Every structure is written in C-alpha cells, then in structure tokens.
Amino acid sequence: MESVNIALTEGMLTIPLTISIKVSYSSEAEKTITVNQLMPATEVTRPISYYENYTGYNADFLDFKVPLPTLTEEQRNNAAMNSYAKDGEDPSVLPYTNFSIVMNRQRQLAYYTVVNINGESAVELARGGDKWYLDARIADSEQIGEELYKRNALDRGHLVRRLDPVWGANAARANEDTFHFTNCSPQHERFNQNEETWLGLENYILHFANRESKKLTVFTGPILNSADPLYKGVRLPLAFWKIVVFTRKSGNLGAAAFVLEQGKLIETLPAVKAMFEPGTYRVTIDNLMERTNLDFAYLKTYETPLSENQLKRSASEQVAVKPDYSNVIL
C-alpha cells in the first residue's frame, strides 16, 4: 500500500475512504498523519478501439501446438460473444495481450482463461492502484462488475495472474489487461491471498517459469456448479482449477492439473453454506474434465503422474499438494 504524508497544524481532516491512521509527533506544533489508503477499485469501460488488432493467446507458443478446448454445443450457446470479432475469428474467444478468455454469459464468469508465460523475458511491474474494466466487446450483463465485491470479504481474484502475461515489448499493456472483470472471479480474501492455496500455487508456477527461463501455457477457471451458493444474486464458485502445460527437459510435452477449494471460507459470508475445506490438490485430467465439462483429452498423453512424495505414484484421482510443493513435479 502507498502512504500519503499530510502535515496538519489545525483543522479537521475528512477522507471518504476506509483508512488506518498512525499519528506521530515531531513537536507540539506539528502533527504528521500517515494514511494507509485502502483504495476502492473503480469500474470503467475502455473504448472499442483499445482492443483493435488484439490476437490474444498463441496456440503455437510452445514447441507443441496447444489448442483451446472445444466447447460443447450447450457451452457454445451459453458463451458470451464478441460483438466486434472479425471474419475468421472465433467470437466466443476474447483476446487480450498474451492471453484469452471464454466467458459463460449466464454465470457472468469465465469458462476458462489461457495465458502464454515467458520466463525468459518476464518484466516485474508494480501493481499500483486497482482500476477494473468492463469489457465493451460483450454486454455488461454478461460480466460481474464492482457491486458484488463491496463491503464483504470477497476479492476480485485474478484468473490470469497479473504478472503471468507481463513479458516482452507489450508488458505494460498486458498488466493493464489483467484488470478486466472478465478476468476475475469472486474469491474469499483468505483464499486469494493465501500462500498455501491460490496465491501460493500462482507464485510456484511463475517462479518455476522465471527460474528455468521457461515458456508455459496455463489454463485457469472456476468450477461452475448449479448448486453453488447464491450471494447478492450471484452463484459463488467453490473451487477453481489450473492446467499447466510445459516442455520437459527431455523435450517432450508435459501437463499437470490442479484444483483449489475455497468452500469453507465462502461459508463465512452471510447465509452461505459450503462443504469443502480450503486446499490445493493435484488431480487427473480425467477428473478435471468431469468437473468442468471442458475437453482436454488431447493433454492426457502428456500428463504428469500424481505423486504423494515424488517417488511413488498415486492410484488416487486427487492428491493434496504439500505446503512446500515438494510433491509437485513440473
């Protein structure tokens, strides 16, 4: 958080924000107030021209072609369509800088996001103040805006992590693009910011890419269930998933799937009940396909086996990820 130093000699200070105030006295005549600004996110819309010539995710980014999953007829009928897609472009795919998103218009959340990560040319950019954007290429009613996140413990959880697409000549643009409401999903603050769940897995994946100067493709999305609890007119997903696709040291393609649960944390919101303990799990791609109805069958050949301890394969379809990620093999 940034701090603003304001010198006061007399009078009253009124700030229309949630603030914490630390008062220190350098003398009787001068008081210095440090205001830790908990800036509320703003909701704005960019002009359509902003998105011109966007190509988004590159399926040929790795040494192997990694296509987008084919939607079922029902999913495609329910996908939000880009009103400004050009001839030859799939209108169900919203392209951004180094990533793309396919939206479920009924749930107003992503079916999935997919991002190209380039550890060799990654750029570290400070986050700055949050300004979140509605995407003008689809209807406002097909995306969740700021109202859901007011006065509660819900975070606007990035699906494509802010720093994942931030590489190359357009790094700053990619950073801005991650702040679209299409790219966020309601996540409990203790899930979104937890080093043992969402944040921890995101950091692990990005640090792996940067440390090894690796290129990765990462698919991410919420697990959408008709029984998800209703809050402020929105059904809150109780779990999220990721598939990491990468090139092994052998030169072969590799893939690993994860599910992250936030159910018991969501239960802390008013009138919301859930079943699952928060945690991170390696799962089989078959298990993930069954829970999401997304077709990733083409990745099964390259799947990294589940392991309890890196030495012994697990016969289970789900294995809890250890806090130090020692049983995660990429």
Residues, the chain:
330
Q: Please give the pLDDT value at position 158.
A: 87
Q: What pLDDT tens digit does each residue of the chain (330 aa) get? A: 444 454 444 444 444 444 443 434 333 333 332 222 344 556 789 999 999 999 999 999 998 999 999 999 999 999 999 999 999 999 999 999 999 999 999 999 999 999 999 988 989 888 777 789 999 999 999 999 888 878 766 778 889 989 899 999 999 999 999 999 999 988 766 544 444 444 556 566 656 555 555 888 999 999 999 988 888 888 988 888 999 898 888 888 989 898 887 654 334 434 444 433 446 778 899 999 999 999 999 999 999 887 644 434 544 566 665 555 444 455
> According to the model, what pLDDT value does residue 322 have?
53
Burial of 47 (0-12, 13-18, 19+ CB in 10 A): exposed
User: pTM to 2 decimals?
Assistant: 0.76
Residue 307, helix vs strand vs coil? strand
Q: What is the pLDDT of residue 145?
A: 87
Distance CA 151, CA 179 (A): 20
pLDDT of res. 199: 54
Distance, CA of 303 to CA of 285 (rounded, Å): 8
What single letter denotes the amino acid at residue 265? Answer: L
Sort strands 234-235 and 239-247 into parallel, antiparallel or unpaired: unpaired
From residue 32, how far is each of 16, 111, 253 by CA, in Å?
19, 49, 58
* Per-residue pLDDT at 307: 62
Q: Which pair of structure tokens corresponds to residue 13?
A: 């200070």
Residue 139 has what DSSP assignment?
A: -
**What is the structure's pLDDT at 238?**
85
Which stretches of 60-172 are assigned E, i.e. beta strand?
93-95, 99-104, 109-118, 131-134, 154-158
Encoding tokens for residue 76?
Answer: 């495609």
Q: How many CB atoms lie within 10 A of CB 234?
A: 17
CA 264 – CA 117 distance, rounded (Å): 31
**Where do we find the tokens 């130093």?**
5
pLDDT for 208: 59
